[in-house]
Amino acid sequence: MKIAQLIKGGSVAIFGHLRPDGDCVGTALGLYNYIKDNYPEIKADLYLEKFPESFNMIRYASEAREFCPFDKIYDTVFVVDASSEDRIGAGGREALKKCGFSCNIDHHVSNPGNICEVNHVVPDGSSAAEVLYYMLEPDKVSRQCAEALYLGISHDTGIFKYSSTHRSTLLAVADLIDKGVDFTRIIDETYYHRTLPQTVVTGFVLMNVKQALDGKVAYGYLTSEQMKHFGVSSLEMEGIIDAIRELEGNEVAIFMYPLKGGYKISLRSKNKVDVNVVASHFSGGGHVKAAGGQAYGDPETIIARLCEYIKEQL
């Protein structure tokens, strides 16, 4: 399926998921750059919720608006990296209801495949950015579009190390490098970089890391008071789960931080546990080895509930 066949009419809106990550922003900006580069006659708008400051190195990132006005009607709506209707951010759910045509580009196993009119979902794709890359004409991909896609693929593969990294992933990345992408800069400045408060708070979480189920689970969390104390926002939580995951012996790593009166849960699995299944009991989903959800109540009680579902699979 090629993008050219999916642009119907003269106006296009692009949406991602709530709390956009590198893959979401990279895919949305990749598509936005591609349309602006190759279809100047199309009026394209990009809607993304607030994302990490560092992603602004990608061209046109500053053109993203945080919310789509309710009275806007688009000929075509693209929804990228979002696996369910309730995950669509920036007013995209409303825009979907009114648009002429819609297309979902995604890679989550938990995606039911019915969010849009056309649902291009590749469950074993490394990233939505890789899925999008193979929908584009390689000759029409500019360096700036390639940079956006590189951001997406590199982030969602944990810099090309997760088991979702396939031959097709690396071939796509080879093509992107050929376009002149400054990959060292993208990785250094968007993935491995941390502000001072982020560095300190990561250290704090690691100092307080705990284990459950005989060390098969490693977990950590932050309370609202602690987030306030360290001066960090929910946009600065990326990377902490990976630091917890590095503790030897764990099969599942858990990190939680406050969200809307409850906790946002991040889950990572090494081998035995399908965390998408675990997350499905906590209003969430994702992938077999990386998933998320939310829960309310005391953090240790939430952890105990999570451990019950994890134990069933160990």
Per CB under 5 A, the segment of 81-89, 91-99, 232-240, 301-309 that binds Mn ion is 81-89
Q: Alpha carbon 162 to chain centroid distance?
A: 14
45 binding partner (options Mn ion, ligand 5GP, none; Cβ < 5 to 8 Å by kind)? none
Name the β-bridge partners of 44.
12
In this structure, are residues 151 and 22 in contact, taking their beta carbons and an 8 Å threshold? yes
118-to-1, 106, 301 alpha-carbon distances in Å: 10, 11, 41
Give the residue, chosen from 45, 81, 147, 236, that forms a contact with Mn ion under the rule CB under 5 A: 81
- Judged by beta carbon, residue 216 or residue 245, the one nearer ligand 5GP is 245
Per CB under 6 A, 291 contacts ligand 5GP: yes
User: Applying CB under 6 A, does 36 fall inside the site for ligand 5GP?
Assistant: no
Taking the C-alpha atoms of residue 288 and residue 108, their distance in angstroms, rounded to an integer, is 9
Residue 258 touches which of ligand 5GP, Mn ion, none (CB < 5 to 8 A by kind)? none
For 310, other C-beta atoms within 10 Å of its C-beta total: 25
Q: Does 284 bind ligand 5GP (CB under 6 A)?
A: yes
Site for ligand 5GP (CB under 6 A): which residue of 89, 125, 286, 299? 286
User: Out of ligand 5GP, Mn ion, none, which partner does residue 292 contact, by CB within 5 to 8 A per kind?
Assistant: ligand 5GP
- Asked if 45 is part of the footprint of Mn ion (rule: CB under 5 A), the reply reads no
153 binds ligand 5GP (CB under 6 A): no
Shortest CB 72 distance to ligand 5GP, Å: 25
Question: Which is closer to Mn ion, CB of 22 or CB of 299?
Answer: 22
Q: Does 245 sit near ligand 5GP (CB under 6 A)?
A: no
- Other C-beta atoms within 10 Å of 301: how many? 11
Q: Using the 8-state DSSP alphabet, how is residue 46 labeled?
A: E
Here the tokens at position 85 are 């209707």
Among residues 250 and 266, whose Cβ is nearest to ligand 5GP? 266
- 290 touches ligand 5GP by CB under 6 A: yes
Cα(115)–Cα(83) distance, rounded to whole angstroms? Answer: 8
**Beta strand pairing status for 11-15 and 118-121?**
unpaired
Instruction: Assess 156 for contact with Mn ion (CB under 5 A).
Output: yes
238 binds Mn ion, rule: CB under 5 A: no
Tokens read off for 75: 């000929």
CA 282 – CA 305 distance, rounded (Å):
10
Tokens encoding 91: 């007013």
Among 52, 37, 50, residue whose Cα is nearest residue 3: 37
In the complex, which residues of this chain contact Mn ion (CB under 5 A)? Answer: 23, 81, 128, 156
By the criterion CB under 6 A, which residues form the site for ligand 5GP? 83-84, 87, 110, 241, 266, 284-287, 290-294
